[in-house]
Amino acid sequence: MVPGMNRKEEIGRAVSRRAREITPFLVMDILERAKELERGGEHIIHLEIGEPDFPTPQAVTDAACRALAEGETHYTHSQGLLDLREVLCRHYLEKYGVKLTPEQFIVTSGTSPAMVLIFAGLLDPGDEVLLTDPHYACYPNMLRLVEAVPRYVQVREEDGFQFRPGELGPYLTPRTKAMIINSPSNPAGTLLSREDLAALAELGPYIVSDEIYHGLVYEGKEHTILEFTDRALVINGFSKLYAMTGWRLGYLIAPPDFVRPLQKLMQNFFISANPFVQRAGIAALTQAGPEIEQMRATYDARRRFLLEGLERLGFHIPVTPTGAFYVLVNARHLSPDSYALAFDILERAKVGVTPGIDFGAGGEGFLRLSYANSLENLGEALRRLEKYLADCRA
């Protein structure tokens, strides 16, 4: 121990600044308290977690089991199996009309490593990155890891919490290297229009497009940023659409000049994604279509049911969420402190919801509800929330 310093002070000094300053993922605070209540015998309805409640399609599981039985348990090419990258090329050509080469893909163990690779390969210390406020909770921490500077753009509820391209001029500086877009978005479940994507592509900075919720769209059509510009890097994966969160399989798409630098980062930090999981990814893309469509239709029915119920309870939602499996509702009439409100709802109504502050200062006063749960549970959650609101009024 350092002379004159107690143990707590010594540990505090030893831990790195970046580890000390990283913000917690607040949804986990809610989940962990919910689990405590469940261990005590309470019945909690989980609307806080953004995770599919469906099993992974059988063809996907079967493909992984076959690969394991055949001994596919060793390193692959650092960019991933060529077979998987070729299937991904066909997918982007058929779905979006975008022609890519297998060399532009790097397969990763989930989308978080893809983000780390992209931000490390694109950004130098001090580079600025525009992102909406609210935004996916982990973006700022990923940026700070590479010492980039997140610049928050306040976005409006009436715009579905998405960028207005014409208003970004004042945010663009000589240090602006990139902007992050997320469509369909977490936490709001809204999409950027084709016109807005084209306008964003004209602004100049690189665009990092998080497309993890593509395929989970119920009205309109999602577009990849690659339809509009090649000055873009895409994050995507299998977790959400294919109910494969625990499989940890993602990928990035990069312009040709970025591929070798990103590959070197992949080689050093992650080596390669699991080979049998990559085989499962091929099966997901080529065999799971009917099950995925059934899941999507079920999510849509849940979405409509939850939206109708929330409106009935007095929550006004100016822009209908048409993608992912989230609804972000304004609850400022109940409390300006979304963290305290989420815990109060959990303790008194036994419904888990995510506080909007988890998604940045622009989310304060809002609550995110996930409809990745059964209609039966959604109905019970609405009944509990109705009683909670009545008790608050009383």
Residue 132 β-bridge partners: 153
Q: Is 80 left (phi over 0), alpha (psi -120 to 50) or beta?
A: left
Give pLDDT, residue 234: 98
Starting at the earlier edge strand, list the strands of the sheet with 366-370: 326-330, 366-370, 354-355
Which tens digits make up the pLDDT trace of 45-81?
999 999 999 999 999 999 999 999 999 999 999 999 9
CATH number for the domain formed by residue range(s) 7-54+290-393: 3.90.1150.10
- What is the pLDDT at residue 17? 86
Which of 248, 287, 298, 297 shows the shortest CA–CA distance to 60?
Answer: 287
Task: Give pLDDT, residue 266.
Answer: 98
**What is the DSSP-derived secondary structure letter of residue 328?**
E
- pLDDT attached to residue 376: 98
Using CA atoms, how far apart are residues 319 and 298, in angstroms rounded to an integer? 21
What distances in angstroms separate CA 345 from CA 41, 146, 325, 350, 367, one per listed residue? Answer: 17, 37, 20, 6, 11
CA atoms within 13 A on the CB side of 29: 13
Alpha-carbon distance values, 124 to 9, 128, 148, 212 (Å): 32, 9, 6, 25
**CATH fit for domain 58-288, picks 2.30.42.10, 3.40.50.720, 3.40.640.10, 3.40.50.300:** 3.40.640.10
Q: Tell me, what's the pLDDT at 24? A: 84
Whole-number pLDDT of residue 3: 61
Angle between helix axes 289-312 and 375-393 (nearest 10 degrees) is 20
Asked if 105 and 251 count as a contact pair (C-beta separation under 8 A), the reply is yes
Blockwise average pLDDT, block size 10, the chain, 394 residues:
61 81 88 96 96 97 98 98 98 98 98 98 98 96 96 97 96 97 98 98 97 97 97 98 98 98 98 98 98 98 98 94 98 96 98 97 97 98 97 88
* pLDDT on residue 6: 65
3-state helix, strand, coil split of the chain in percent (to 5) is 50, 15, 40
Question: How many Å separate Cα 2 from the centre of its chain?
Answer: 42
* Residue 10 pLDDT: 61
Where in the chain are the domains? 7-54+290-393, 58-288
User: Rounded to the nearest 5 degrees, what angle is found at the Cα of 381, between the Cα atoms of 380 and 383?
Assistant: 65
pLDDT at 91: 98
Nearest Cα residue to 280 out of 233, 246, 256, 257: 246
Residue 296 tokens, joined: 């999507």
Q: Rounded to whole angstroms, what are the CA distances from 113 to 77, 92, 166, 232?
A: 16, 21, 32, 17
Considering Cα of 184, then 185, then 191, then 195, what sign does the dihedral take?
A: negative
Residues 133 and 41: their CA atoms lie apart, in Å, by 38
Classify residue 160 by burial, with Cβ atoms within 10 Å: 0-12, 13-18, 19+: buried
Alpha-carbon distance of 44 to 346, in angstroms, equals 8
